[in-house]
Amino acid sequence: MATGIDRPSSSNLSILESVLEHVRSAAPPGARIELAIETDLSDAGLDSLARMDVVNRIEQQYKIRFKEETLYDLESVQDLVALIENELDPELGAFAPSVRGPVRGRNSVVADGTELIQEVQHARAIELPNASSGTTPTTVRLSEVDQFEARVVGITNAGLKLPFYRVSERVQGTNAVIAGREVVSFTSFDYVGMARDVRVAEAAKEAIDRFGTSASASRLVGGNNTLLEDLDRELADFIGAEAASVFPSGYGTNASLFGHLFNEEDLILYDDLAHNSIVQGAKLSNAKRRAFPHNDAAFLDDLLTDVRSSYRRVVIAIEGVYSMDGDFPDLPHFLDVKHRHNAMLFVDEAHSIGVMGPHGRGLCEHFGVSADEGDLWMGTISKALGSSGGYMAGRRSLIDYLKYTTPSMVFSTAASPASAAAALTAIRLLKREPERVARMQEQSRLMLKLSRDSGLNTGDSHLTPIVPVILGNSKLCLWMSEQLLARGINAQPILYPAVPENASRLRFFITADHSDEDIWRTVQSLIELVPLGRRLLND
Ligand code: PMP
């Protein structure tokens, strides 16, 4: 690729030095390459997340914002130096657009004057302080907002509708009313029918009568109540852990926990398909972090053999069930790696609690191992437990410490009384009615079998309620979602960049309440519509 510099001058020598420093600190453990101006970022071990991390740090340091498209084919240290050089135009100061013709491809030549003018206006409007004079209000334009808008317009111009933020007017179990029409929904995490159970609803209503609609404070300082305390105990017993504590939110639990327990002396290793809350938490921690290939415990074993001794703490973060693919990890193998390398194991059971194991007690029950073997059992009450909130379970001493110190617990209002009562009742019901779990597992087996027998690609999904139908074309996924809705079936697409384009898919969440008829009808519609859509979209 073309570069903006041949040989480092004295001014760009310091740029080079700081780029090398950023790359060095983002490089994963075990990357032993000598860094130089020509070093390829992949050779330095930087995956896409680590590259973005480097880019973010550079943007902060130089107070610049690179155009998104200039980042697509960033290959080497030299490319980064050239990008910075291009942004630091002496005439306009640090916020200048790339008028000298940025480094690469699409951007290397300013194709016409309009684009240039837009670039200049854009950069000034976005970034330059005091860009307006007098009383004229300043319009702050953000490049990512413009790009998003362009993407939405592109979809609409292609005659497609965005299926996100679809509005339900009423929801009753698996049935919803959308745009005045009754549909069967495959978009809910209510895996074992708790959110529609009258006993759960009654408990939530009573809790409002007794405690009001809000906990009105964090648990630590006034928001605690008997419902939350009972729920802590029920959860610990259900999971088989010494103790558990209900947090205000599942997302917040992860986003806060990693930064709380781990710092620059530590290493966080998370599955390549880990939920955004885990990745964000890891980012906030300042620990070294690295994604490892999906479900690959053997890879971790090799890596830790090389690097374990360089770190104070190492944590391996996995999920009980992966919500994009509907597969799950080989827990005993991960436990073995954890023990061999004196690492901690964090398991996010958001989609496995209430789902895996004969009684829905989660991944430990599925594999017949004790929760004492792992360290940090995180989960949510927002899915199979028909409520809203998160939890942490594990050794009592650790949970006590987390209750008193984790920012998302200490500084956030507790889960509402209605939420606590709903989850508490849901767990007690599930203990008495494990057949709900068997029913959900039976229905998801039916969906998987019918789909596979019809030649649909369901990826690695097995034994879980999440069944993706991989179509490999975002437009086709959008079209399918719309067509299914017209037939009274509500299913959401998962598109690039959430997954690679060739893995774009429709995702079906199967619950105990879906009837055989719901599932037959859905697979029949898929069989009829997919070939039609491919023909129409010339796929
Ligand atoms: N972890 C995983 C794996 C999830 O899928 C989610 C939510 N979809 C969360 C954490 C966040 O949980 P909550 O919705 O309870 O905030």
Query: What's the pTM value of the predicted model, to 2 decimals?
Result: 0.78
Give the model's pLDDT for residue 116.
Answer: 28
* Probe residue for ligand 1, chosen from 189, 251, 318 as the CB with the greatest number of ligand atoms within 8 Å: 251
Q: How far is the CA of 410 from the centre of ligand 1 (A)?
A: 20
Residues with Cβ within 8 Å of 140's Cβ and at least 6 positions away in sequence, in order, are: 125, 126
Ligand 1 mutation pick, 187, 253, 272, 277, max ligand atoms within 8 A of CB: 277
Rounded to whole angstroms, the Cα distance separating 234 from 216 reads 23
Cα(191) to centroid of ligand 1, in Å? 14
Give the pLDDT mean for 201-229: 98
- Give the residue, 134 or 219, on which the prediction is more confident: 219
CB 518 within 8 Å of CB 185: no
Residue of 538 and 2 predicted with greater confidence:
538
CA 116 to ligand 1 center in whole angstroms:
43
For residue 380, the CA-to-ligand 1 centroid distance in Å is 7
**C-alpha to C-alpha distance for 533 and 238, rounded to whole angstroms:** 46
How is residue 512 written in tokens? 């105990």
Report the pLDDT value the prediction gives residue 36, as an integer from 0 to 100: 87
Task: Give the model's pLDDT for residue 62.
Answer: 83
Asked whether residue 368 carries a pLDDT value surpassing 60, the answer given is yes
Q: Is 152 in a helix, a strand, or coil?
A: helix
The predicted pLDDT at position 123 comes to 40
**24: Cα separation from own chain's centroid:** 26
CA distances 225 to 394, 415, 420, 497, Å, are 21, 10, 9, 42
Contact 159, 537 (CB under 8 A): no
**pLDDT-based confidence at residue 69 (cuts at 50, 70, 90):** low
Among 128-132, 383-387, 520-524, whose mean pLDDT is lowest? 128-132
Q: Which residue intervals of 371-434 are DSSP H helices?
A: 396-405, 407-410, 417-432
Which residue type does 344 have? M
- List the single range of 11-20, 164-173, 238-247 with lowest mean pLDDT: 11-20
For all residues of the chain together, what is the average pLDDT? Answer: 88
Instruction: Output the ligand 1 site: residues, CB below 6 A.
Output: 249-251, 254, 275, 277, 319, 323, 348, 350-351, 380, 382, 390
Distance CA 385, CA 376 (A): 20
pLDDT-wise least confident of 426-430, 462-466, 497-501: 497-501
- Residue 508: what are its φ and ψ, rounded to 5°? -115, 125
The answer to whether the beta carbons of residues 371 and 364 sit under 8 Å apart is yes
Closest residue by Cα to residue 248 from 387, 109, 415? 415
Tokens of 94: 């640090």
Q: Tell me which of 187, 235, 272, 275 to substitute to probe ligand 1's pocket, judged by most ligand atoms within 8 Å of the beta carbon.
A: 275
Taking residue 372's Cβ as centre, other Cβ atoms within 10 Å add up to: 12
